[in-house]
Amino acid sequence: MRTTVSADAFVCAVPADHALAQRTSLSWTDLAGEPFISFGPESSIESHVRLALESAGVEVGPSVQAHNVAAVAGLTAAGLGITVIPELVVPMMSFANLVYLPIEPTIHRTISVVQLPGRRQSASCSAFLGVLVPPQKE
């Protein structure tokens, strides 16, 4: 059984002094040729971003891979490139003084809780899901 918890939109993160930082929103084509900080190939973030770039026919400039949020934030803040991240990651990058811009068309990742079929849900799991997914009001 799968319970959807959230749909997490992606945004572009740029250094505060980057030319794109003055914009209010971006299109995927605005990223063409820009030096880019990406997550490693094992990251679900990377697969979403790669698919969106390919769908838009966009090739970014030179790319550097990092394997955790802090490294991506630090490399971006140092001016080595721009990056695209889910909005839920933004608070983890708050130390980096970056500007976050929506990208059109918007892409989302779905955050879900998965339960094995035939397994009974524990009381703690039920309580946790009750916090994440409040009951629907009628």
pLDDT along the chain (138 residues), means of 10: 86 97 98 97 93 97 96 97 97 96 96 84 84 68
Q: What is the DSSP letter of 82?
A: B
Instruction: Note the pLDDT of residue 113.
Output: 82
Structure confidence at residue 129 (pLDDT):
78
CB of 52 within 8 A of CB of 85?
Answer: no
Residue that is written with structure tokens 């971003």 in the block: 49
16 contact partners, CB below 8 Å, separation of at least 6: 97, 98, 99
Domains of the chain: 7-109 (3.40.190.10)
Task: Tell me the C-alpha distance between 16 and 11, whole Å.
Answer: 15
Distance CA 77, CA 104 (A): 23
Compute CA distances 53 → 38, 84, 107, 110, 117, whole Å: 12, 10, 11, 19, 36
